[in-house]
Amino acid sequence: MSNPYVSRGPVRDPAMFFGRENELREIAAFLRGNQSVSIVGPRKIGKTSLLFHLMRPPTFTSLGLDENFLFVYLDCEVLGDGSHEEIFGQFAVEIAEALHERGQAPEPALDEAADKPGRLAFERAIRRLNQRGLRIILLLDEFERLSTNQNLDVNFFNALRSAAGRYQLAYLTASARPLIQLTYSGRSQEILSSPFFNIFAPLYLGLLSEADARQLIRQPSQAAGITFSPELEDFIYCLVGGQPLALQVACFYSMDHPNDPDAVEQAACQELAAHFQYYWHNLTPAEQAILRQVDEIAGRAASDTTLRGLLRDLTQKSLLIADANTYRYPGRAWAAFVAAQQPTSPTGERLSSTTMLIAGTQVGPYEVLEPIGRGGMSEVYKGRHTRLDRSVAIKILPASLAAEADFRTRFEREARAVASLRHPNIVQVFDFGDISGTYYMVMEYIAGKDLSTIIRESGRMPIEQIALVMLEVSSALDYAHDLGLVHRDVKPSNILLQPLAERAAHSGDRTETWIKAEQKLKPGLPYHAILTDFGIAKMLGGDTAATKTGLMMGTLNYMAPEQIRSAGEVDGRADTYALGVVAYQLLTGQLPFVADNPGAMMLAHLQLPAPDPRELAPETPSKIARAILRALAKDPQERFDTSSAFAAEFNLAS
């Protein structure tokens, strides 16, 4: 008896391929319309297996794709260092080989394109094949390697797009990340402008469904003469879930130990450990921290956009499963691996996964009273200065992030940057330090709600109140911009609304700036807007590592196009764009752009025109609608010069 579960790479035996019926039908529908498709999924999820299965004549004919479709597979690893001409030549060689394997007559134009490769020769060959009634589908596996080829430029990708538009030619790429994420940074910023990346329909490949996973467990073993008991089948699925590789591994050892689940689990976890380590070490510290405390964090996701984004990314990486309003691990083996991963301090000490201070804890001269907020990057507690008897907010960097030098640097940068700011609409920082590896920042305590809570509870806000928020937040932003500081993460959860009475009670040391701002307030409005969280702020002309590398930083729903392309090259107009998104959301109750995945959201900010808020809120005055659309202009030059100039448009009396 042979063990059928031997594959640790792409599945080549059609009898061992299970599931993916919906994905295959969707791909076929796109290909019939000459639409290119980008398959996106994490490592070992079965992308290459899917491509191989699609190429089989019984598969594609069952999907309604006739024999005129010629599938041509290329592993982009072999194209990673090639020139334009070499890659076009390789395309021709592989198409000629696919013709031969199909039993079709050779095409002389392909031989010419292989001997004297280039764009024109390649297109002539495609045209000749189309004239023979053939439709060419280029399957570009491991597309990351092609996208990082230093020899390629925007002209190469434009040539690919042009060929797909003129001929019966489509591309089917496979990559671990969306195409746009592969091309927005560094050298590839020019490539991003290529329309090539607009022609793809994204298809996300995740875990197998439970029904498909159980087929993979059950059918090959039965065909080999062993029937797993229902208890063993349940055991295997609970151990590894719908991860195709992990299922192969667990089933392989179950064939040897059908009556010893403990031996199966021990052997499977030992083999999977290297794969789990790969997944783990390719996560950010914030993602690792979330996985360690997913039960606790999931409950806070509704009020934290950063947290929701991280949870969404982990789900797309098949490391979590979204289940109603909760998240869970795909299988017990992965859960056990995560539980065993403990962060370490800068000195190598193992730390608990979260700081989780309790009431009465002393942090320097401050007493912790109660938790008041948590995000993906920090925990905030209400506290008291024991000697001054003053209420404060204490922001703590979790131990799992404090172990990373980059996060400690960002945390300290925020403290130094905000401590230098003196404005009535910017939260004031009093102190910063670390005690036994606990990094903390002490700020003024702001009683009240943030704007994200207001939006969640009420959906929309009256225009006169929006005008106040715009007035005060724009004043804070312009003040910071004048000092050379760009916030880069303006969003509702970073704007606190403090009741007027509460502000008055804590403003015995009011400045002249505060008095002038107070005089501008319209009577009857109940609060002041306070801007917080300068954690990823950029000093204009500064020299921080994050901005020099061009790393994209911020919250994608509110991010200006230029911030997506190069976070290190933004000015205050990026904050004005984000403020325009906030204004749109307060007016309509919705974001201007909605997308199912980060790549689509990036494309929306980069390319889609901003929708008129009057489509959702017809009562919006034309003056305000035009101002929001101008703030959301793709080109910074077309926006307002200052945030206050944008906010001034909300004054309908002027």
Residue 328 carries which DSSP code? E
Which of 593, 577, 557 is closest to 635 using CA atoms?
577
The CB density around residue 625, as the number of other CB atoms within 10 Å, is 19
Phi, psi of 531 (to 5 degrees): -90, 130
Give the Cα separation of 78 and 75 in Å (integer).
Answer: 6
Q: How far apart are CA 563 and CA 67, in angstroms?
A: 46
Alpha-carbon distances, residue 396 vs 50, 226, 270, 402, 411 (angstroms): 45, 55, 36, 9, 9
Candidates 481, 467, 466; CA nearest to 641 is: 481
User: Nearest CA to 643 among 531, 496, 528?
Assistant: 531
From the number of C-beta atoms within 10 Å of its C-beta (0-12, 13-18, 19+), residue 402 rates as buried
Q: What is the DSSP letter of 599?
A: H
Distance of CA 531 to the CA centre of its chain: 25
Integer Cα distance of 654 and 645 in angstroms: 12
Chain center to CA of 491: 17
Residue 403 CB partners (closer than 8 Å, separation 6+): 285, 343, 344, 345, 346, 351
Indicate the angle between helix axes 463-482 and 512-520, nearest 10 degrees: 150
Cα separation, 572 vs 17, whole angstroms = 53
HEC assignment per residue over 33-46 = CCCEEEEECCCCCC
What are the φ and ψ backbone dihedral angles of 138, each rounded to 5 degrees? -90, 115
Sign of CA dihedral 312, 316, 318, 324: positive
Q: Quick check: 430 and 509 in contact, CB under 8 A?
A: no
Give the C-alpha separation, 50 to 167, whole Å. Answer: 25
Rounded Cα distance between 257 and 265, Å, is 10
The C-alpha atoms of residue 434 and residue 438 are separated, in whole angstroms, by 5
Calpha distance 209→200 (Å, rounded): 25
Q: Residue 59: phi, psi to the nearest 5?
A: -75, -55
- Which helix (H) or strand (E) segment holds residue 355: the answer is none
Residue among 304, 313, 478, 489 flagged as catalytic? 489
Q: Catalytic annotation on 81?
A: no
Q: How many CB atoms lie within 10 A of CB 28?
A: 18
Task: Give CA separation, 546 vs 432, 441, 627, in Å.
Answer: 21, 21, 32
Helix (H) / strand (E) containing 204:
strand 200-204
Q: Which residues form the catalytic set? A: 489
